[in-house]
Every structure is written in structure tokens, then in C-alpha cells.
């Protein structure tokens, strides 16, 4: 499939059909067009994570494991490598750009091809076609994967500038993004610029907790629920921080009001962050949160003939293995017995200096040497305690890891709805965007 840019210096203020990535393929006319696209990205969610979820959901030692929600919609796999001159393992920016634009690129790039030329995203094309658009995530909403769909920067590290772009850039005179839900207050309410006030002046609603989210009736909405990233799902003891599924549902309620349809991107951002930490408790918690959001998308698309739902990952993280050291027994019951992430447990232990409080969070019988190891870290840094807890949990659950970085294996694709078959088999990550470009109505 030939994919090319007719005008590589696209100006978003003058977005036109001549700047779009175009496909010249006789199959295009035979593909059914779709009104609504819901794309979900589990950041860092390789096969070991989704396989681990099947074990995690299985309560008994005996009997066949039931499929997860993901299993029911599995269609194919995609390759994640970037075109970086120094690395063939992608970062989230390069992978996000490939999934958003159809162009593989260098690590760190947002919405640019390998020559650092601006390339339009599927979100931008949807807006050009008169559709509503949304970004939902558990990281700050100007983080790499989400930003790759809505801005064009040589470096993903330009967080303030990315936030500015969300407000400043227009397509056909309209705001590029209609609904934004996630973290990142510190980037939107700054000393040099208060984007929150500007969004409100531009007709957006603004909410900061789940109660306000439920009560708000604005069609255009900015929701920021934490200064940076949201707490891990397992650590959201308060109902004031919405889950990923709640944010997804809130976005869909607004976006579907547009008779021309919509594009919605939902990111399970912190599956990746748990992988970087080798934190299996956080990983399974975030994966369950992402699975629930996927279910919201599936339920929306059921019995509709105008919607496609695609869920995939940008890469895998951590080299997670289900079992380690030849034990031949992974123990997800250990993970289920822990009620907070190691980071939260470590912070409380350092605050109270009372090791006995560990039982509030870990319903696990620890050996004396484990307790001594944790106790010894209380005179060190919180990070030392957190790492000790991670090591102990990985040991008891028999979870293995090979790295604290990204890994290069293929990742799964799940799909439901019209044109689902187009994502079957093995493809490049950039092919997903190209197919979405072809089918958008």
C-alpha cells in the first residue's frame, strides 16, 4: 500500500485535503467507511501482560482458564520498532507517531516523520472531516503517546509547549481536541500561562474530580484530575479520581453528540510505568483498568454498523515473564493479596516508621528475613523501601523481569466492529494508522 504526503509542510491553520497522507489502492473503494473510531493503546502492554491477566483472573489451581475480554477480540500482531539511528527499540513518542500518522520515525518525535517533516494524524484528519475528537489517559494528557496524535514537536520533552498546542492549534478554525481527560494540572495552570482559564473562555467545561465529571454537561471538556499522572488504579482509595473506564464513558457521551461522528484515543498510560518499575502489582492493576475501558468501548459499539474499536500497545516494557528461576509456578494469588502499590506502602512506612502497618496493605505471610530487609530500608530512602517491596513481591509471585526499559517484541491487536478483519495477521504499527485513514468516513 503506497502512502505518501503531498505537502510535507502542512500548516494546521490551513489544513486541506492536499496535505493528507493519501493511499492509491484499488481496495480503498471496497472498504466500508466508518463514522466513529475508538483507538485504545495499552502503553507497554505486551503479550506477557495480557497472558498474565488471564492467570490473574483465574481463581482456581485447577480447570481451564477463561478467556479475558481481550482474548475474545484478538485479530493480529504488530511490529513496534522505530527508525531511530541509534536504537531499534522504540520509545512511546515514535510508536505513538507511527500509530497516529502511518509514519515510523525516530525516538522522541511527535507527529514528525524521519526527516522531521510534519505529518497529519488520524485525529487531525477526523477533525478536518467535521468529527469530534478526544484524548483520554492516566498520565498527564500532554505525555508522549497522547501528544503524538495531537501535536508536532521534535522532542516529546516540550511538555508546556505541547499543552499550549492543545489550545492554540486549530483545524478549519476549530479547536483540534474537544475532550481531554487525564492528569497534568501543573502543565495547564502555570505561572507563565493559565491554559485552564483560556480553555474556559473558549467554551470548554473544566472538571477536577469524578463528581464534577459526572455533573458537567458541556460538550467540550477539559478534565485534569492530578498535577501530573493519576494515582495507580489500585491506589485510588477516593472516588474523586475517576477510573479510565469512567473517563472513557464520559468522553463517549460527549463525542457521540456530533452527527458526523468522532475519533477517540484512550491510553492505559501506566501499564508501561509499572513495567519500568518491575512492579507486577501496579501492572495488573493498570491492566484491569484498561480492560474495563476496553469493555466500555465494546459496549458502545455493540449492534452498531458505523464504529470500529481497536486496542493495541505501542510496545512492551520490562521483559515481564510469567514465572522465574525454573519454578514452573506463577502465583497471581500473591498479587491479588496486595491492596496498594509498593510506592504507596513504602511512603506510609517511612511516614509512620511502624513496620506493623504493612499488614494494612499486604495480606501476605512474610518470612522474618523479608521483614528485616524491609525494616533496614526505613533508615534509607523511600525508593529503597519501595524496591525492597517490589523484589519481595516478585519473589513470592515468581514474576520475572529482564529489564527496566522497553523491549522489542511484537504486540497484540484486538478489534471489534466494522472492518475488524482489516487488522488481522501481522503488520507494522504504522499500518494501523494507514488502515484507519482509509476507512474514515
Q: Among 92, 139, 210, 285, which one carries the catalytic annotation?
A: 92
Q: What is the pLDDT of residue 18?
A: 46
| Cell reading at 168 | 492554540
Task: Tell me the C-alpha distance between 50 and 69, whole Å.
Answer: 10
CB 96 within 8 A of CB 148: yes
Residue 245 falls in the annotated catalytic set: no
Provide the 3-class DSSP secondary structure of residue 401: coil
All three cell numbers of 13, joined, read: 491553520
Residues of the chain with pLDDT under 50: 1-19, 22, 24-26, 28-29
pLDDT of residue 140: 98
State the DSSP string of 109-169.
-BSB-TTS-B---HHHHHHHTT-EEEEEEEEETTSHHHHTTT--BS-TT-HHHHHHHHHH-
Q: Which residues pair with 268 in a beta bridge?
A: 42
pLDDT of residue 153: 97
Count other Cβ atoms within 10 Å, centred on residue 207: 20
The Cα 439–Cα 30 span in angstroms is 10
pLDDT of residue 214: 96
Q: What is the CATH architecture assignment of 331-397?
A: Orthogonal Bundle (1.10)
Helix (H) or strand (E) holding 334: helix 332-336
Confidence (pLDDT) at 63? 86
Q: Which are the contacts of 195, defined by CB distance < 8 A and separation ≥ 6?
A: 163, 164, 166, 167, 187, 188, 189
The domain 34-321+403-439 is classified under which CATH number: 3.40.50.700, 1.10.10.10, 3.40.109.10, 3.40.720.10?
3.40.720.10
**Domains in the chain: boundaries:** 34-321+403-439, 331-397
Amino acid at each position: 500500500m503506497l502512502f505518501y504526503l503531498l505537502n510535507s509542510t502542512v500548516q494546521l491553520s490551513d489544513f486541506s485535503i492536499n496535505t493528507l497522507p493519501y493511499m492509491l489502492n484499488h481496495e480503498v473503494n471496497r472498504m466500508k467507511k466508518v463514522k466513529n473510531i475508538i483507538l485504545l493503546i495499552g502503553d507497554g502492554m505486551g503479550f506477557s501482560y495480557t497472558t498474565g491477566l488471564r492467570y490473574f483472573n483465574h481463581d482456581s489451581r485447577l480447570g481451564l482458564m477463561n478467556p479475558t475480554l481481550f482474548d475474545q477480540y484478538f485479530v493480529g500482531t504488530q511490529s513496534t520498532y522505530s527508525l531511530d539511528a541509534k536504537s531499534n527499540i522504540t520509545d512511546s513518542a515514535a510508536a505513538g507517531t507511527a500509530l497516529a500518522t502511518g509514519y515510523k520515525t525516530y525516538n522522541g518525535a511527535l507527529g514528525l516523520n524521519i526527516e522531521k517533516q510534519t505529518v497529519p494524524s488520524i485525529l487531525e484528519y477526523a477533525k478536518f472531516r467535521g468529527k469530534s475528537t478526544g484524548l483520554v489517559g492516566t498520565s498527564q494528557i500532554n505525555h508522549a503517546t497522547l501528544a503524538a496524535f495531537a501535536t508536532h514537536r521534535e522532542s516529546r520533552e516540550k511538555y508546556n509547549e505541547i499543552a499550549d498546542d492543545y489550545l492554540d492549534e486549530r483545524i478549519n478554525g476549530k479547536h483540534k481536541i474537544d475532550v481531554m481527560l487525564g492528569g497534568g494540572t501543573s502543565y495547564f495552570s502555570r505561572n507563565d500561562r493559565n491554559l485552564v482559564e483560556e480553555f474556559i473562555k473558549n467554551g470548554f467545561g473544566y472538571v477536577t474530580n469524578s463528581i464534577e465529571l459526572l455533573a458537567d454537561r458541556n460538550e467540550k471538556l477539559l478534565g485534569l484530575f492530578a498535577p501530573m499522572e493519576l494515582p495507580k488504579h489500585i491506589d485510588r482509595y477516593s472516588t474523586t479520581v475517576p477510573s479510565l473506564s469512567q473517563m472513557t464513558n464520559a468522553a463517549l457521551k460527549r463525542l457521540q453528540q456530533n452527527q458526523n461522528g468522532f475519533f477517540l484515543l484512550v491510553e492505559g498510560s501506566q501499564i508501561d510505568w509499572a513495567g519500568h518499575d518491575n512492579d507486577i502489582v501496579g501492572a495488573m492493576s493498570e491492566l484491569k483498568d484498561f480492560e474495563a475501558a476496553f469493555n466500555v468501548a465494546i459496549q458502545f459499539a455493540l449492534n452498531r454498523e458505523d464504529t470500529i474499536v481497536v486496542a493495541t500497545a505501542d510496545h512492551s516494557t520490562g521483559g515481564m515473564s510469567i514465572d522465574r528461576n525454573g519454578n514452573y509456578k506463577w502465583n497471581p494469588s500473591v498479587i491479588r493479596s496486595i491492596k496498594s502499590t509498593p510506592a504507596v506502602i513504602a511512603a506510609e512506612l517511612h511516614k509512620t516508621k511502624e513496620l506493623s502497618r504493612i499488614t494494612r496493605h499486604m495480606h501476605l505471610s512474610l518470612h522474618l528475613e523479608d521483614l528485616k530487609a524491609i525494616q533496614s530500608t526505613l533508615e534509607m530512602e523511600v525508593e529503597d523501601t519501595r524496591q525492597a517491596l517490589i523484589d519481595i513481591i516478585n519473589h513470592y509471585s515468581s514474576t520475572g523481569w529482564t529489564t527496566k526499559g522497553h523491549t522489542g517484541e511484537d504486540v497484540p491487536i484486538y478489534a471489534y466492529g466494522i472492518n475488524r478483519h482489516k487488522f488481522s495477521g501481522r503488520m507494522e504499527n504504522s499500518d494501523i494508522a494507514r488502515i484507519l485513514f482509509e476507512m474514515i468516513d
